[in-house]
Amino acid sequence: MTWMTLFNGHEAPVLHPRLSDINIEHIAHALSQINRFNGSACRPYSVAEHSILALHVSRMLGLSVHAQLAVLMHDAQEAYLGDWIYPIKQELGPRAKALELHWEQLINVTFSLTTHKHIYRQDIVRCDRIALATERRDLLPSTQPDGTPLTPWDILAGHEPLSGIDLLAPEVAYAPWHHWRDRFLSEFNDLMDERQSIIHARLGAA
């Protein structure tokens, strides 16, 4: 079996995906049910919720609509491949990276994100790291059982968690999965509309 069955019945070939396999409704649906940290956070925490937190960071940093859209979609390929934790990615090696890149490229083409992802690459990384630092502070233990501090994460060097954000607050901790699906779709559609308005305005002024 070399394909996956999506929630709407579409069968997508995992190893040889096509543009016709990319669907924003499936992306939002799957990301809202895929847990980060291999399901080891202190509460269920989905990739969709992470993507929305990263989007929040992008707005705090004053990034453009184009950058915000790229940030929201930075993990969209995980809807089709899952969220592999870093040690597994390292062990799987170049073949897994190539497969992930192929899905990401198809998504970028489908939603005209290729240029955005390239231009705003450093901004995407920064938003992702700040979100990750916030997630580690709120959702993962800070010490081992004997009280020994956990090993620092090198990728978080220079990135501080957000103040004024509590990922254990009841309004987010107990939100159902479909809340994050609908929120992801709403943010995506609003950003796409805003991007289109900017493009039309520029064409009108040309």
b or e along 91-126 (b: 16 or more beta carbons within 10 Å of the residue's beta carbon)? eeeeeeeebbeebbebbbebbebeebbeebeebbeb
85's tokens: 């934790």
Which contiguous run of DSSP H or E holds residue 115?
helix 114-119
The 10s digit of each residue's pLDDT in 69-84 is 999 999 999 999 999 8
Domains recognised in the chain with CATH numbers: 36-138+152-205 (1.10.3210.10)
- What is the Cα gyration radius of the chain? 18
Maximum CA extent, the chain:
66
Question: What share of the chain in percent tops pLDDT 70?
Answer: 99
Q: pLDDT tens-digit profile of 91-103?
A: 888 988 999 999 9
Q: Assess contact for 181 and 32: CB atoms under 8 A.
A: yes
85 pLDDT above the threshold of 90: no
Whether the predicted pLDDT of 204 surpasses 90: no
Is 178 a residue whose pLDDT tops 70?
A: yes
The pTM of the full predicted model, rounded to 2 decimals, is: 0.95
